[in-house]
């Protein structure tokens, strides 16, 4: 069933264009147009949209990759819909919850819908709000890839991420599908709360529709390049991933993927934090991967990358900008198609997944079943 791929993880990475397509089909109203006479939302989230339309705050609980996706979600909910959003580790929140806020939507994000810490955090939140009246009542939304899971029975409604069954322990297509869920939620809320103009919403939707082809281009163009590149890192012990703004969580995700399947120590940092400590780690033995998509963060990440270069680090850039400056700063460039910064996480994560995969495969490791990890962590 690997359809010619060496591992399920690789197959699942290559399924991402069709996963994004099916998310678009499920959650975009294809007949919507900015000129429609009848005013209606371009997004079709149904009950999930009703649940959150008038909340003042959002708190998200999740673990691992789902937590990384939630950090991207926070950027979207805050920047597009203007809703203050907190992201909590479920394993912490269940024992050390933040004070209850009024009129708050709690979102549990779990690919499997079975992660014990996430379910317990949601249960705790439900219990402590039990019997309280509006505006302190519990409103809980789940984002999951398993609509038949335990999560679904605990929450008021779910957003199904439509990634299909994921077999590789390292989450890839389910992560991208969670991001899509957050784009739809944030755009729906932006539409309802009028925090974005219809013109801006239309531009973002057009951008979302381009994603499947753009991911295909990366997979076609970079598969081999990254496989070649990964030869250089078979004996590497540490990796640093840098990003800023909406791509900081992608730096975390790149580092997590590499740790999980290649057993190489890796950390993701918001690039501006390097000088506050981690820069001391850098030398010629520590490669640095910097995500520098065009936008507010671009120049900043470039100058942080230059600081790393000055410490002899091997620099790998993930960027859509092919110019003399990028070619001089970076030792290797992983090019991705041009895209609005706010949509870029779905694009920038793809080369990082491929990099983690090829390094682990080159090291001859059991990519689909990494040591000490399970697909669903149903124990505390």
Is 375 labeled as catalytic in the residue annotation? yes
Q: What are phi and psi of 59, to 5 degrees?
A: -125, 135
- Stretch touching ligand F6R by CB under 6 A, among 62-70, 76-84, 222-230, 282-290: 62-70
Give whichever of 42 and 64 is closer to ligand F6R, judged by the CB atom.
64
236 binding ligand F6R? (CB under 6 A): no
| Spatial CA neighbour of 300 closest among 355, 250, 242, 348 | 242
d(CA 152, CA 130): 18
Q: Is 110 in the site for ligand F6R (CB under 6 A)?
A: yes
Residues 6+ apart with CB under 8 A from 15: 163, 164, 173
- According to CB under 6 A, which one of 22, 59, 118, 247 is a site residue for ligand F6R? 118
Q: Confirm or reject binding of residue 377 to ligand F6R (CB under 6 A).
A: yes
Shortest CB 253 distance to ligand F6R, Å:
8
Among positions 261-280, residues that touch ligand F6R (CB under 6 A) are none
DSSP, residue by residue, 100-121: P-SSEEEEEEESSS--HHHHHH
Instruction: Considering only the stretches 9-17, 76-84, 165-173, 337-345, report the one whose residues sit in contact with ligand F6R under the rule CB under 6 A.
Output: 165-173
Structure tokens at 343: 């949509």
- Which residues lie below 8 Å from residue 54, measured CB to CB, with a gap of 6+? 103
Using CB under 6 A, which of the segments 26-34, 107-115, 215-223, 242-250 binds ligand F6R? 107-115
Our finding on whether 70 is near ligand F6R (CB under 6 A) is: no
Residue pair 68/249 in contact (Cβ under 8 Å)? The answer is yes
Q: Which candidate in 210, 300, 362, 375 is catalytic?
A: 375
Q: Is 170 in the site for ligand F6R (CB under 6 A)?
A: yes
Query: What CA–CA distance (Å, rounded) separates 20 from 180?
Result: 7
Q: Please, are residues 345 and 71 in contact by the beta-carbon 8 Å criterion? A: no
Q: Which residues bind ligand F6R (CB under 6 A)?
A: 63-66, 110-112, 115, 118, 169-171, 256, 260, 376-377
Known catalytic residues are 375
């Amino acid at each position: 069933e690997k359809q010619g791929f060496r591992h399920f993880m690789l197959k699942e990475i290559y399924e991402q264009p069709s996963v994004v397509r099916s998310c678009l089909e499920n959650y975009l109203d294809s007949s919507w147009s900015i000129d429609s006479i009848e005013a209606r939302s371009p997004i079709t989230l149904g009950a999930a949209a009703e649940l959150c339309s008038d909340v003042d705050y959002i708190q998200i609980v999740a673990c691992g990759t789902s937590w990384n996706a939630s950090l991207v979600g926070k950027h979207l909910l805050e920047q597009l819909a203007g809703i203050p959003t907190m992201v909590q580790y479920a394993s912490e929140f269940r024992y050390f919850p933040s004070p209850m806020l009024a009129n708050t939507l709690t979102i549990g994000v779990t690919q499997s819908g079975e992660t014990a810490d996430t379910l317990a955090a949601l249960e705790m939140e439900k219990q402590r709000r039990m019997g309280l009246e509006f505006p302190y009542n519990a409103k809980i939304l789940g984002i999951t890839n398993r609509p038949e899971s335990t999560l679904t029975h605990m929450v008021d409604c779910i957003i199904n991420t439509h990634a299909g069954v994921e077999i590789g322990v390292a989450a890839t297509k389910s992560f991208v599908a969670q991001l899509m869920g957050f784009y739809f939620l944030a755009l729906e809320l932006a539409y309802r709360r009028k925090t974005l103009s219809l013109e801006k919403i239309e531009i973002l939707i057009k951008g979302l529709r381009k994603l499947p082809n753009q991911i295909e281009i990366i997979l076609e163009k970079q598969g081999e390049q990254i496989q070649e590149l990964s030869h250089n890192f078979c004996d590497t012990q540490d990796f640093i991933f840098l990003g800023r703004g909406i791509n900081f969580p992608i730096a975390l995700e790149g580092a997590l993927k590499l740790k999980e399947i290649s057993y190489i120590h890796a950390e993701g940092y918001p690039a501006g934090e390097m000088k506050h400590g981690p820069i001391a780690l850098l030398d010629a033995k520590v490669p640095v991967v910097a995500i520098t998509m065009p936008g507010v963060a671009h120049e900043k990440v470039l100058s942080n990358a230059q600081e790393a270069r000055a410490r002899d680090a091997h620099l790998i850039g993930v960027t859509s900008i092919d110019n003399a400056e990028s070619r001089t700063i970076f030792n290797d460039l992983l090019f991705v198609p041009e895209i609005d910064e706010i949509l870029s996480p779905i694009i920038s994560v793809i080369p990082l997944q491929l990099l983690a995969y090829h390094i682990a495969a080159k090291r001859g490791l059991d990519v689909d079943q990494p040591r000490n990890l399970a697909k669903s962590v149903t124990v505390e």
